[in-house]
């Protein structure tokens, strides 16, 4: 007798749900979003004072007029100034700020008094800042401590640059020491030759005014080229890093922003913090 073959149904395999790993698609996206949300909340909490001040003081028309980066800069400016309450605060200006109404230059954000100002006097071996004389007299009339600086051109004769500054700037009792502003590397000479030129400028200017000049530069330039070899000098350092909020103890001045608003000055202006109070700042002025 012939048996019928019976077809058996294939066994059904039950699928077991895999546990979602940390790196699986949906979970990874969720974790990334959660991380940035926490980061955003953390930054908001850290800058809560600056944000509260900004949005309570800045009116809607200012918010509409200023770009996003300027708004962020304003918040940081407040944060930095708030951390340095009691220290002397000042500006530095040049012809780029146009004509300044010095009688109106009194506070930053209508809260922080302006104590001093550095004014560009000369550039290289042949150029005067077109607003120097007016700014020099205006700052004095407004009873601000004032100082003059020279923008150094690496590819021009250092002694001729020094003579131009000396010829242009007359320092009086109570003025701040002269400043050498060096920001660029030379194109036609080595860094070693540049350093020789800087030393010649500094020596000549010190001989004339009987006071040691201050050197202004960026933090990276300072670290890479000047920190060791010019350690006998005091430094004024520019650093606009969003995450730096306090002056380095080795810096005499810190230029922490180039995007501040001040009464009497159109457009943006640089703001600087002296590593001490106003009375201490007076100690370093010309006698």
Tokens representing 185 are 């590397």
62-71: b or e for each residue (b if 16 or more CB lie within 10 Å)?
Answer: eeeebeeeee
Residue 106: which residues within 8 A CB-CB, separation 6 or more? 113, 114, 263, 264
Kindly give the pairing relationship between strand 269-274 and strand 89-93. Answer: antiparallel
More confident residue, 44 or 99: 99
The dihedral formed by the CA atoms of 81, 242, 222 and 270, expressed in degrees to the nearest 10: -50
Of the listed 92, 125, 129, 175, which one is catalytic? Answer: 92
Helix pair 158-168, 191-209: axis angle to 10 deg: 30
Q: How confident is the model at residue 14 (pLDDT cuts 50, 70, 90)?
A: low
Q: How far is Cα 113 from Cα 205, in angstroms, rounded to an integer?
A: 31
Instruction: Label residue 133 left, alpha or beta by phi (over 0 means left) and psi (-120 to 50 means alpha).
Output: alpha
Asked if pLDDT for residue 239 goes beyond 90, the answer is yes
12-26, 36-50, 166-180, 192-206: which range is least confident on average? Answer: 12-26
pLDDT at res. 23: 53
Domain ranges for the chain, please list them.
Answer: 86-283
Please determine, looking at this structure, whether the domain spanning 86-283 carries the CATH number 3.30.1330.40: no
pLDDT at res. 64: 54
Q: How confident is the model at residue 62 (pLDDT cuts 50, 70, 90)?
A: very low
Cα angle, residue 258 at apex, residues 57 and 167 outer, rounded to 5°: 130
Q: How far is Cα 161 from Cα 126, in angstroms, rounded to an integer?
A: 7
Tokens representing 143 are 């009873």
Q: Is 85 a catalytic residue?
A: no
Asked if pLDDT for residue 9 goes beyond 90, the answer is no
Tokens representing 77 are 């400016």
pLDDT at res. 200: 98
Distance of CA 242 to the CA centre of its chain: 9
Q: How far is Cα 78 from Cα 51, in angstroms, rounded to an integer?
A: 9
Cα angle, residue 184 at apex, residues 183 and 185 outer, rounded to 5°: 135
Q: Looking at the chain, which runs of residues are DSSP E strands?
A: 89-93, 107-108, 112-113, 116-123, 127-128, 145-151, 179-181, 214-218, 234-238, 253-260, 269-274
pLDDT at res. 44: 59
Contact 145, 285 (CB under 8 A): yes
Of the listed 104, 126, 160, 183, which one is catalytic? Answer: 183
Model pTM score: 0.78
Q: Is 183 a catalytic residue?
A: yes
């Amino acid at each position: 007798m012939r048996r019928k073959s019976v077809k058996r149904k294939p066994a059904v395999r039950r699928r077991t749900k895999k546990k979602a790993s940390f790196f699986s698609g949906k979970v990874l996206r969720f974790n990334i979003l959660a991380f940035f949300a926490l980061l955003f909340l953390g930054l908001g909490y850290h800058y809560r004072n600056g944000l509260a001040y900004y949005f309570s003081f800045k009116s809607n028309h200012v918010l509409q007029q200023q770009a996003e980066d300027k708004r962020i800069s304003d918040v940081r400016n407040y944060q930095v100034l708030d951390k340095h309450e009691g220290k002397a605060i000042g500006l530095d200006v040049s012809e780029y700020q146009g004509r300044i109404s010095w009688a109106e230059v009194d506070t930053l954000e209508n809260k922080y008094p302006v104590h001093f100002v550095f004014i560009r006097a000369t550039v290289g071996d042949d150029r005067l800042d077109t607003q120097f004389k007016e700014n020099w007299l205006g700052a004095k009339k407004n009873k601000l401590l004032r100082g003059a600086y020279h923008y150094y051109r690496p590819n021009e004769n250092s002694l001729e640059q020094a003579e131009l500054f000396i010829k242009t700037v007359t320092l009086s009792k109570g003025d701040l020491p002269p400043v050498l502003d060096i920001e660029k590397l030379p194109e036609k000479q080595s860094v070693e030759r540049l350093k020789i030129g800087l030393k010649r400028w500094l020596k000549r200017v010190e001989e004339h005014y009987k006071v040691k000049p201050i050197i202004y530069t960026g933090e990276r330039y300072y670290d890479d080229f000047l920190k060791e070899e010019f350690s006998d000098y005091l430094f004024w350092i520019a650093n606009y890093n969003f995450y730096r909020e306090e002056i380095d103890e080795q810096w005499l001045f810190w230029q922490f922003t180039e995007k501040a608003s001040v009464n009497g000055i159109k457009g943006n202006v640089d703001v600087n913090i002296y590593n001490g109070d106003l009375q201490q700042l007076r100690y370093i002025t010309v006698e």
